Chain A
Amino acid sequence: MPQHIDLSLIDWSRAQFALTAIYHWIFVPLTLGLAFIVAIMETIYVRTGDEEWKKITQFWLTLFGINFAIGVATGIILEFQFGTNWSNYSWFVGDIFGAPLAIEGIMAFFLESTFIAVMFFGWNKVSRRFHLASSWLTAVGANLSALWILVANAWMQYPVGMQFNPATSRNEMVDFWAVLFSPVAVNKFLHTVSSGYVTASVFVIGISCWFLLKGRHTSLAKRSIMVAAIFGLATSLLLAFTGDGSAYQVSQKQPMKLAAMEGLYQGKQGAGLVAWGILDPGKKQGDGKDAFLVKIEFPKLLSFLGYRNPDAFVPGVDDLMKGGFKPGFEPVNSLEKGNTFSVEEKISRGKRAVTALGAWRDAKAAKDSVKGDSAMKELRQNFPWFGYAYLNSPQSVIPNVPLTYYSFHLMVYLGLFFILLFAVVLYHSTKNTLESQRWLLWAGVIIIPFVYLASEAGWVVAEVGRQPWVIQDLMPVMAAVSKIDATSVMITFWLFAALFTVLLIAELKIMLRQIKTGPKEGGTH
């Protein structure tokens, strides 16, 4: 029955969301971090009165502006896409999800867009202090907007603070603070913004290293490196810390995602963390074969990190399919306390919830309160698995394991490498020996694309790893999609792909020219 839903529509709609989100995320991290770096540089200028710092501030501000514009361009479609392509989702959870989006607009976007105009046009129009305040407010605005959209995203991964209302066929918010301060939201926000700070730090260091290699603008380069290395080292440690916090939340709330991140099919007690490994491309769920062609593990580390207990049982994909194990955490659904359900059981319960919803609506229309009460009881009991009813097969709860696994490991390797890079760069920066370390300067330049790769990989883990759910356990993609024809979405997908690619090339060309021109003649300041 559910297979009647047009699969190509779902695939194109997912592809379009992924495409637009990936493009948007090329630009956002730099905005989040560079806003603070520019504000720090301007603060030094205002405190010291040194004109060199003003020049440095304005050079990075020019690059910030170019990046900001295309970030805005790619962002608008994301907000409206929840409605255009995921309209059923918009109704099913709009009562909770819409609020952070609106708050983002009122609280953050106006702050950002108002004061960024002062940053660019206010140098000779407002006082130094007001200009400095505008730079900080722009940075705060950008990061506040990240807060609200990440709260919304976290809620989709761990829906809290709401109750389903059968009369309106939607979930309704009952506790705003639970939504805002959910542990998933807190970790996700800090982890994501700190990834932006690290991105901006690598960006500033990389370009400055290039200046040093060319022997140009050396004073600007050295001062910029000092700021970026300190900012980068501090925030990369925060990144690692909140990364651990995020994964700890995943192991509690999305164990299937954790299993995919580690390529873990058969769970075990005292599970090791894969340090390096190649997955067997022929591996199928339930075939009993080893998932890896080759791997090196840190013993017991996955159990320790995921459950804070080196001997804890970490369920794999097979265990989560079959159920029947005692979960290591207080489960999201108390009925699974002693013994987790199999996916088939969850599908059956999901269908009971959906049937009960229909029965409740019928009873209400017939004004039969006895039938209504009994349907309501059945609905409430089984609602935690509501979304399972729409699945095509039990296997559809398994995300793309190789993509999630490789993305996760790539992100972690690079994240750890950045800490090392910042430490070494900072060491040579304080000793004033940077220029003699040509290898380090080259490494600084070459690493720039990798910080973007790491950042995008993080989102692939978060979003591919949670498939097929748009809202964990409550709504899969097939029940969320708008009722439009796949061809329409295919056309808009290619339009976005073409337009964003052209704009990206234009942005890169402009950015490279501005960097090549350097601070004095660069930009239009």
Chain B
Amino acid sequence: MFETMSIETLQSYWWIIISILGSLLVFLMFVQGGQTLIYTIGKTEPERKMLVNTLGRKWEFTFTTLVTFGGAFFASFPLFYSTSFGGAYWVWMAILFPFIIQAVAYEFRSKPNNLLGHKTYEWFLIINGLLGTLLLGTAVATFFMGSSFLVNRSALTNLADPAISRWMDPAHGLEALLNWRNVALGLAVFFLSRVLGTLYFINTIDHEEIRVRCRKQLLINIVPFLVFFLTFLYAILIRPGFAVRPMQGIIYGEMNKYYHNLVQMPLVLMIFASGVVFVLLGVALPLVDMHKNGSSGFWYAGTGTFLTVFALFCMVGFNNTAYYPSVYDIQSSLTIHNSSASRYTLTIMSYVSLLVPFVVAYVWYTWKAINNKKIDEAEMDEGEHTY
């Protein structure tokens, strides 16, 4: 099946897979957003316990998606993996550290004799929620704004200095934080994750005070999300983007490139627009108390998030666009064609990708099995496993 595809088709197929994983990851960051709200929404210890436990049943999905996103990017576009991870060293390390402390926080939090005390582990969750979303959003914004690196495949023949990719900014990735446009997307992801977190609490916890506070937080967080997201969107649509001449593979600056991409790919524009509508609908449902007290708002906003992020990935990867641009040497910019794995590897990996629907199916099935009843205070005391 995949053997007959051209390498260009396989590259596009794999960009779609990467986009799906990236979009799922942003949606699943409701866990991170929720983590930053455990003190704001949970006023008593039993309330906090419910919040932590409802997130604790899902945190591994976000974590696993992040790891799979990294692995899939490595397999399909290895030049991105080596250039970005090896170059923007500090920003990736700053993203990874919060995930390390998150992984122990749930399990260790309520265990006796846990060395650091339960508050420390709760702060681990808050740090993970804050830095994980803010920095990942900032890092993804560089896909549009560019970074400072050089790729030279001939370097391998220089025995004294054979590094093919090298980062040209001594801050090794942290410089991305100095560009307000990058930070705008980082903050947008942060506030979006909090919106999704509150919707998830409404979806899974049966507790009147928590629901009231969630609705308040929904309003508090949706406004800055919209401000930062629209600011970022405006910033990328009006500025030059990084376009590719497909035959020669030459990269050049094109005014309003990302705007052109939206217009020239109407399907992407439709996905983007419907994504935004779904997010707003998801937020509106609990506010007007419709549809099972707004419980399903989480799924609407989640779907909307997935669609919007997916459209952003399409905007930056397709229509002859360099998805990881270099502002130091524009010809070093990465495109889905010059950074991909070989045709053979993409073909093999495409067969592996057929497993994804099965994975989604059993994840969905077990999600329903575990969440078939809302969490309440009584369940926390029943002697089941709790965090």
A residues neighboring B (CB under 8 Å): 1-5, 65-66, 68-70, 72-74, 76-77, 79-80, 82-92, 94-99, 101-107, 109-111, 113-118, 120-126, 130, 134, 165, 168-170, 172-174, 176, 351, 354-355, 357-358, 361, 389-390, 479, 481-484, 488, 492, 495, 499, 502-503, 505-507, 509-510, 512-514, 517, 523-525
Contacts and interface: CB of A to CB of B under 8 A. Distances in A.
Nearest to A514: B111
Nearest to B110: A524
B356 interface: yes
Contact of B106 (A69, A80, A103, A122): A69
A83 B366 contact: no
Given A102-B349, A109-B67, A509 B342 contact: no
Contacts of A390: 159, 162
Interface string B72-87: 1011101101111111
Contact of B160 (A4, A176, A502, A510): A4
Interface of A is mostly: helix
Contact of B344 (A3, A97, A173): A173
* A-B pairs with lowest CB-CB distance, top 9: A87-B86, A83-B85, A94-B78, A105-B68, A98-B75, A73-B103, A69-B107, A482-B86, A90-B82
Contacts of B157: 354-355, 357-358, 361
A358 to B, nearest CB: 4
B159 A105 contact: no
Interface stretch (B89-97, B186-194, B285-293): B89-97
Interface stretch (B57-65, B222-230, B247-255): B57-65
Interface string B23-56: 0000000000000000000000000000000000
Given A483-B167, A499-B100, A117 B366 contact: yes
Nearest to A88: B163
B82 A95 contact: no
Most buried by A among B60, B92, B159, B353: B159
A121 B384 contact: yes
B64 A95 contact: no
B113 interface: yes
B108 A69 contact: yes
A424 B361 CA distance: 47
A68 B75 CA distance: 26
A506 B161 contact: no
A69 B159 CA distance: 42
B345 A172 contact: yes
Given A97-B74, A102-B71, A483-B161, 7 more contacts: A76-B67, A85-B86, A87-B82, A87-B86, A96-B345, A483-B87, A484-B167
Given A1-B159, A123-B384, A525-B385, A102 B74 contact: yes
Given A76-B99, A91-B164, A483-B163, A98 B78 contact: yes
B115 to A, nearest CB: 4
Contact of B355 (A77, A106, A169, A499): A106
B366 A76 contact: no
A428 to B, nearest CB: 33
Nearest to A123: B384
B359 interface: yes
Given A124-B384, A484-B89, A513-B113, A90 B81 contact: yes
Contact of B74 (A83, A124, A126, A492): A83
Contacts of B372: 125
B112 interface: yes
B245 interface: no
B74 A109 contact: no
B104 interface: yes
Given A79-B67, A95-B341, A513-B111, A106 B72 contact: yes
Contacts of B162: 88, 390, 479
Interface in B256-281: none
Given A69-B106, A72-B103, A168 B153 contact: yes
Contacts of A92: 156, 164
B114 A510 contact: yes
Contacts of B58: 117
Nearest to B347: A176
A126 B82 contact: no
A242 to B, nearest CB: 27
B50 to A, nearest CB: 14
17 contacts: A76-B67, A82-B81, A82-B85, A90-B78, A92-B164, A99-B345, A101-B75, A102-B71, A102-B76, A104-B71, A110-B363, A172-B342, A174-B344, A354-B157, A483-B161, A495-B97, A523-B385
Contacts of A481: 163
A128 to B, nearest CB: 13
B172 interface: yes
B1 interface: no
B83 A87 contact: yes
Interface in B143-174: 153-154, 156-157, 159-167, 172
B63 to A, nearest CB: 7
Interface of B: 57-58, 60-61, 63-64, 66-68, 70-72, 74-76, 78-79, 81-87, 89-90, 92-93, 96-97, 99-104, 106-108, 110-116, 153-154, 156-157, 159-167, 172, 341-342, 344-345, 348-349, 352-353, 355-356, 359, 362-363, 366, 369-370, 372-373, 382-386
Contact of A99 (B75, B110, B154, B166): B75
Contact of A114 (B71, B345, B362): B362
Nearest to B338: A168
Contacts of A126: 369
Contacts of B83: 87
B366 A114 contact: yes
Contacts of A479: 156, 162
A388 B160 CA distance: 13
B82 A110 contact: no
Contacts of A86: 86
Contacts of B172: 484, 488
A107 to B, nearest CB: 6
A124 B384 CA distance: 8
Contacts of B75: 94, 98-99, 101-103
A94 B64 contact: no
Contacts of A4: 160-161
A86 B163 CA distance: 10
Contacts of B153: 168-169, 361
A66 B353 contact: no
A513 B99 CA distance: 26
Nearest to B356: A106
A73 B101 contact: yes
Contact of B369 (A120, A122, A523): A122
Contacts of B341: 94-95, 98-99
Contacts of A94: 74-75, 78-79, 81-82, 341
A475 to B, nearest CB: 9
A76 B159 contact: no
A99 B84 CA distance: 18
Nearest to A484: B89
A506 B167 contact: no
B72 A105 contact: yes
A113 B115 contact: no
Contacts of A513: 111-113
Contact of B76 (A89, A98, A113, A169): A98
A499 B101 contact: yes
A77 B86 contact: no
A216 B111 CA distance: 22
A390 to B, nearest CB: 6
A106 B163 CA distance: 30
Contact of A106 (B96, B154, B353): B353
Nearest to B62: A113
Contact of B64 (A113, A168, A173): A113
Contacts of A76: 63, 66-67, 96, 99-100, 103
A79 B356 CA distance: 20
B25 to A, nearest CB: 12
